[in-house]
Structure 1
Amino acid sequence: MAATLVVGVLIGSTTIGPPQTIVRVAANGEIAATGVLADELSKQPSGTAGPVSIGMTFKTDQGICRTFEISEELSGLGCRSGSSWSIPVLAHDRLGEPHGRDYRLAGSAMSPAVAAEVERRIIGDPLSPADEKKLLSHF
């Protein structure tokens, strides 16, 4: 229940254009992407501008995950689960501050919580742009 409250506070203070919901709590208790976040995770190539910035796409032992940023203070990890995106990590902090060893795109910082989850889940290297494009064509 505390996690739900935290997510509500985070989402309530973060908007993409007009206020809209970007996550919901699924029936199984997991946090799931919805609205523009789900759309961007399914369609947007890494490194392109949009309401959600996608950092990288990588394989896990259960499928694929993508890092994202919604503002300078909100970042997360979306992992494909069937036809939806679960959000195992949603972090609210100052992304511009140095965090030591973490995964980064040029000009981008990743929350330490997100970086730790990426390190825990990633198998091999992040997908190449060509492999990512092929993958996104199936969503």
Structure 2
Amino acid sequence: MPADTDLARLLAGMDPAPHPEPYVFVTVAELPAGLVPRATIREDEGLSAVVTAAEAAAHGLAGAFPCAGITLRVHSALEAVGFLAAITRALADAGIGTNPVAGFHHDHLFVPWDRRDDAMAVLRELAT
């Protein structure tokens, strides 16, 4: 199925799937051997990575922002306009901060671990 750009279809079909384990953000010069991040981005200050809290602890890494990962399973096009804006606005209106990450096929949200159920409720409501 090709990637979609239609905002109404994207919202209706976002199909959010929460991940069961908590994640944290870490920053490293290079990834330690055996560490498999959920997401990475190279910044001037180093490599930022999103890893499970357990992986961070196992590698002796200090993690920040304990969060829940939520994958939006709709195949969103990279050029789609307004999809993440609508989602982050709805979450912000509910007082939930989010760190979105766009993948080639799907978008992923990282929300505070203790607000994960609230975030899922907001996403489900937005999809109706």
TM bucket normalised to smaller: under 0.3
Max Rg structure? 2
Q: Which has the higher contact order (CA 8 A, sep 6+)?
A: 2
TM-score by length of 1: 0.26
Q: Which has the higher strand share?
A: 2
